Amino acid sequence: MKKIYFFAVITGLSLLTGCSGFLDQDNRSNVASSDFYKTKVGFSNLTNAAYSTLRELYNAQPLLFVAGTDIYADGKSQGVTMSQYTFTADDSNIKNFYVRCYKGIQLANSVIAYGETTEESTVRLQYIDEARFIRAWYYFQLVQQFGAVALNKKMFDYAEMNHARTPLSEVYQFIIDEFTYLASSDSKLLERTSSGVGRANKRAATFFLAKAYLTRGWLDGQGYEAQEENIAQPTDFANASKYALQAINGELPASSIEKAFDIANENNAEFFWSVQFSAASVSNPVSDGSNQQAQFGSYLGGSENPRNKAIDGNFAPALRLQQMYTRGDARLEQTFMLEFHQTYFDYYSSPTTSAIKFYYAPAWATDADIAAWKADDPNNLKQNTLVSKTIAVGGIAPSNGAPASYKDRRSQDYGNACIKKFDDYSAASISNRSTSCSMHDVVVARLGEAYLIAAEAYMKQNKPDEAAQMINDLRKRPGTIKTGYETDMTVANSDITVDFILDERARELAGEYVRWTDLKRTHKLVEYATTYNEDGITETNMKGPDGKYKTLRPIPQAAIDLNQTKVDQNPGF
């Protein structure tokens, strides 16, 4: 019985992590005989096992992606260590992320290795390239969070404990080289149209190639990233815009944000690649789903309200996020549940018959605006609506109807509007409410972000006209601009700054798992966290005992202890 060690660098740690994978063949420390993987069925199962590891990053709280930023903050739960930068190298969330990435890499390496000896099939070469995609994608996640990491490109069938960190320049070049090949005509990946969004495909490879170039281009030794190696290349931003345009492929967004993210529309043209969840393929549909719909809002009560979705209370949308949407930007209403009916899911099942209990007025709403909203009531649903004004001081807290600060409202039941675009309103999801899980896929590459990558890359090339055009084209998305506000919503080249780009990313990508890496990439993490985070992050919080900023995550201490090669810890820890 040959054993494949999933995580060769810290093999012992791999036994400590949980897994919600959808294949029974994964038994943590080893898999079945290598003879099985030389069959068509076995090789297909091994490939599926590599895909299943993606769920392990996205079926839990997205702490490493969103905590400690400017647009999310503590809700009913208080003092989350990741949000306050009080975590250490022993933090379990960081260790689990690190382990899961390397587990996915080792499974991808196994697919690539067995792909050379497995029996021939029409999908053999395709699956090898899909595994190369997954491996490159995992390394991209690792370098954004940890900087230089060990680069392993072979399958281990023994416990290997000597892994030095590979220079950051080499890891980025590997990522870029892999995605360059995978996006090319030589690649055996399927096109997006024939593969759907669940399998790695050429369009998604082009998207991540653009994003990898963009991210490396910012690693220029400036700002807080001076703590990392200066690896930026002169052509990085030009390549980022080039490949972003290839990913866009001349297409304008065809659906509104609300329609694009509707769970009944998960394979639409907006999306390039998604981490897939379905009741038929997870081990336990009650607990093994995505938690994305439960992350961004105030607490909505307990099991006494079974038709309210579960909210874990860690990442309430900050006032800053809601204030970024101007009066003419309809993405606010499409992203947030501003009209809360008697129960949360009445919005989907009985929108014209269930009375509206709470209305979360936009930040720009005046008394006249609110009066006009109440008067527009053909079904008499607003007679007893409690209006919560989304302003910093003096707004109404829905849980008790009393004035409260925005920070107070975040910590109260029903205190602020939830992000709704990831909602799973199916009967099965509602019945599983107590677990926070849903079967909504998690989108990790899409058309809207490709436009934003191009805009940012053009900005860095000092091409504000092209950058503004990218955002204006993005805003042509159906339903984005309210009638009469076309001029107000038109972006001029003089508007183009890194702060504007980050604001637009917040508006377009609210609730998607990118904000921490966005701020880190653009050298804005410390500035934005200390200036805008509502929970009072200080510069002292963000510095370690060595006086360095915590703009990288710590290498897990257990990984350092188990590795027989000396591994230096990241700055700040």
The DSSP code sequence of 256-272 is -HHHHT-GGGTTSTTEE
The closest alpha carbon to 520, from 493, 480, 550, belongs to: 550
CA 442 to chain centre: 8
- Residue 6: the pLDDT is 36
DSSP state of 6: S
pLDDT by residue for the chain (573 residues), tens digit each?
333 333 333 333 332 333 333 223 343 334 456 889 999 999 999 999 999 999 999 887 889 999 999 999 888 776 678 899 999 999 999 999 999 999 999 999 999 999 999 999 999 999 999 999 999 999 999 999 999 999 999 998 767 778 889 999 999 999 999 999 999 999 999 999 888 899 999 999 999 999 999 999 999 988 765 667 799 999 999 999 999 999 999 999 999 999 999 999 999 999 999 999 888 777 787 778 888 999 999 888 877 788 999 888 788 999 899 999 999 999 999 999 999 999 999 999 999 999 999 999 998 999 999 999 999 999 999 999 999 887 656 678 788 888 888 888 888 889 889 999 999 998 888 887 666 788 899 999 999 999 999 999 999 999 999 999 999 999 999 999 999 999 999 999 999 999 999 999 999 999 999 999 999 999 999 999 999 998 889 999 999 999 999 999 999 999 999 888 888 999 999
CA atoms of 258 and 264, how far apart (whole Å): 11
* Residue found under tokens 């290839």: 246
Number of domains into which the chain is organized = 3
- Residue 403: the pLDDT is 82
CA 55 to chain centre: 12
Do 2 and 146 reside in the same domain of the chain? yes
Do 113 and 10 reside in the same domain of the chain? yes
* Amino acid, res. 74: D
- Residue 7: the pLDDT is 37
Pull the structure tokens for residue 175: 């990522």
CA atoms of 442 and 460, how far apart (whole Å): 29
Do 354 and 418 reside in the same domain of the chain? yes
Do 88 and 129 reside in the same domain of the chain? yes
Asked, for residue 284, whether it belongs to a domain, the answer is: no
Work out the burial of residue 185: count CB atoms within 10 Å of its CB; fewer than 13 is exposed, 13-18 middle, 19 or more buried: exposed
DSSP state of 382: -
Do 26 and 157 reside in the same domain of the chain? yes
CB 516 within 8 A of CB 506: no
Where is the domain boundary, 394, 423, 452? 423
Where is the domain boundary, 472, 494, 510? 510
- Residue 564: the pLDDT is 81
Where is the domain boundary, 361, 389, 423? 423
Asked, for residue 286, whether it belongs to a domain, the answer is: no
CB 170 within 8 A of CB 140: no
Which CATH number belongs to the domain containing residue 107 in this structure?
Answer: 1.25.40.390
CB 115 within 8 A of CB 131: yes
CA atoms within 13 A on the CB side of 438: 23
The CB-based long-range contact list for 259-262 (8 Å cut-off, 24+ gap) reads: 259/478, 259/479, 260/446, 261/421, 261/422, 261/443
The CA angle 521-526-528, to the nearest 5 degrees, is 90
CA atoms of 103 and 18, how far apart (whole Å): 12
Do 462 and 564 reside in the same domain of the chain? no
- Residue 430: the pLDDT is 84
CA atoms of 93 and 556, how far apart (whole Å): 10
Do 7 and 134 reside in the same domain of the chain? yes
CB 63 within 8 A of CB 114: no
The CA angle 296-501-492, to the nearest 5 degrees, is 130
The CA angle 535-540-546, to the nearest 5 degrees, is 145
Do 366 and 228 reside in the same domain of the chain? no
CA atoms within 13 A on the CB side of 397: 19
CB 176 within 8 A of CB 213: yes
Do 140 and 183 reside in the same domain of the chain? no
Do 72 and 111 reside in the same domain of the chain? yes
* Residue found under tokens 């707004």: 395
Residue 156: which domain range?
Answer: 1-166+538-573
Pull the structure tokens for residue 479: 């339903």
- Residue 14: the pLDDT is 34
- In DSSP notation, 337-353 reads --EEESSTTHHHH-TTT
Asked, for residue 3, whether it belongs to a domain, the answer is: yes
Asked, for residue 523, whether it belongs to a domain, the answer is: no
CA atoms of 102 and 115, how far apart (whole Å): 19
Do 159 and 209 reside in the same domain of the chain? no
Asked, for residue 528, whether it belongs to a domain, the answer is: no
* Amino acid, res. 383: Q
Residue 444 three-state SS: strand
Cα–Cα distances (Å) from 256 to 214, 262, 335, 479, in that order, read 26, 10, 10, 5
Asked, for residue 371, whether it belongs to a domain, the answer is: yes
- Residue 143: the pLDDT is 97
Pull the structure tokens for residue 213: 């170039």
End-to-end CA gap in the chain: 41
Asked, for residue 186, whether it belongs to a domain, the answer is: yes
Residues 6 or more apart whose Cβ sits within 8 Å of residue 568: 165
204 Rama sector, left if φ>0, alpha if ψ -120 to 50, beta otherwise: alpha
Residue 190 three-state SS: strand
Give just the sign of the alpha carbon dihedral 84, 86, 88, 92: negative
Cα–Cα distances (Å) from 47 to 53, 160, 490, in that order, read 10, 23, 46
CB 178 within 8 A of CB 153: no
Do 71 and 150 reside in the same domain of the chain? yes
Asked, for residue 92, whether it belongs to a domain, the answer is: yes
Residues 6 or more apart whose Cβ sits within 8 Å of residue 127: 43, 44, 47, 111, 115
CA 548 to chain centre: 26
The closest alpha carbon to 455, from 493, 412, 511, 402, belongs to: 493
